[in-house]
Each structure stands twice: as C-alpha cells, then as structure tokens.
Amino acid sequence: AVGASPSANPADAALAIYRRHDMSKTLGRLRAVHEVAEFYAEYTRELSARVRVLETAAARAIRSADEAGRQSLRSGDAAFAHADRADGLDAALAAERGVSASLRKQLCRAEAQLATERDESALQHAAELGRLAVVGG
C-alpha cells in the first residue's frame, strides 16, 4: 500500500487509488481492488499498533492512578495516626500538668508545715531558755 497512514481518511485514499487505475478494464479494476486491499491491511496494522500504544499508556496511567490512590490512603492513615498520637500526647501532658500542680500543692503544704514546726520549735526553745533563765537566775 502506497503511503498508508492512520491520519489519512481511508475513503479518500481508496478513491485516489481507484482514480489512478483504468477502471474500464478488468486488469485495472483488479489492480485497484488489490491495492485498496493492501492499503486497508497496512492501515489496519498501523491503527492496531497505535491502539497497542494507547492501551499501554492507559494501563500505565491506571497503574499510576492506582498507586497514587494507595499513597493517598497511606498518607491519610499516617495523618490519622499522627493525630491520634498528638491527642495521646496532649492527654499525657495534661495529666503531667495535673500531677505537677498536685505536687506543687503538696510541696507548699510541706513547706508550710516545716515552717510551722520550725516556729513551734523556736518557741519551745525560747520558752525553755526563758525557764532556765528564771530557774537559774
């Protein structure tokens, strides 16, 4: 087939082939029919090759889209896991703050108790010194 191209209009190409031959003679008609058949065979092969290329490209695009979807799901799952961990850390931090506040209160009470005991001890010591001064005096 002469110049078969998938971009060419096959009907126009076949008509051009018929016009090149003397259709008034049997041999001319046979040659024209044979050449048109060759053209269509080549045209079909080229279209089939283009279809295979397009099918391959489509399959790659589908695989890429599928992988992108899986990656998106993994990213979403990871984001949810990070959010869960962050919530857990926030809860742990709040609990630590609560414990810390409780420990500060206990420390303040202990310091107040210690100061009271020191004051009472100082008073007792002063009273004892006063008593000894009166008894010894």
H-state helical runs in 1-137 = 10-20, 26-136
Q: Are 58 and 20 in contact (CB under 8 A)?
A: no
Structure confidence at residue 131 as a pLDDT band (50, 70, 90): confident
| Radius of gyration, CA atoms only, the chain | 50
Separation of alpha carbons 131 and 9, rounded Å: 130
Q: Regarding predicted confidence, which is higher, 93 or 5?
A: 93
As a whole number, mean pLDDT of residues 96-115 equals 92
Integer Cα distance of 122 and 129 in angstroms: 10
pLDDT digits (tens, 9 = 90+) for 15-72: 999 899 888 899 999 999 999 999 999 999 999 999 999 999 999 999 999 999 999 9
Can you give the pTM of this predicted structure?
A: 0.48
| Average pLDDT of the residues in 99-119 | 93
Q: Which pLDDT value is given to residue 6?
A: 52
pLDDT of residue 132: 84
Percentage of the chain modeled with pLDDT above 90:
71
Report how far residue 10's alpha carbon sits from residue 7's, in angstroms, rounded to the nearest whole number.
Answer: 9
Q: Which residues of 89-99 are buried (b: 16+ CB within 10 A; e: fewer)?
A: eeeeeeeeeee
Q: What is the pLDDT of residue 23?
A: 85
Tokens matching residue 89: 């850390």
Interval 119-134 mean pLDDT: 88
